[in-house]
Homo-oligomer: A and B are copies of this chain.
Amino acid sequence: MNDSELISVLSRRGIRPTQQRIAVYKYLLTHPEHPSADTIYRALVEEYPVFSRTTIYNSLGALIEAGLVRQVNICADEQRFDATVTDHGHFFCKECGKVYDFGFDSPAMVSRLCPRGFIKEQGDVFFTGICKHCYSF
């Protein structure tokens, strides 16, 4: 996705496509490893020497509000962020610390887990354990 496409995506979602928001969103799109706010900050401050930590939080908040980004409660100590907003699962490897995405064979099945009468806005399936790569040794 090039810059003009990003601009129109943000505009369509009703938020002003500022340079900072685009940079944060682009970082998330190109780094699907669920980075933390601090990871994003340290990466972007290299590229744009003047970039505030607060702006990272503000931009993430705006992007979340707009439905382009979601937060993932995978680690207890810090919040992680994800530009993939369609329902998908996460596997956290205790060994290497990586967070893997995985899809569902039948997404409807996951929605069916939600109890009757409860209005689901977001769903998350989260597994913890040992990943494929760390297990084979």
Chain A contacts to B: CB under 8 angstroms: 71, 73-76, 79, 89, 91, 93-94, 100, 102, 104, 109-110, 113-132, 135
Contacts and interface: CB of A to CB of B under 8 A. Distances in A.
B135 A121 contact: no
Contact of A114 (B79, B115, B122, B127): B127
Contacts of A127: 113-114, 118, 120-124
The 4 A-B pairs at the shortest CB distance, nearest first, are namely A117-B132, A73-B73, A121-B129, A119-B130
A3 to B, nearest CB: 30
Contacts of A79: 76
Most buried by B among A71, A100, A125: A125
Contact of A118 (B100, B113, B114): B100
A115 B102 contact: yes
Contacts of A117: 132, 135
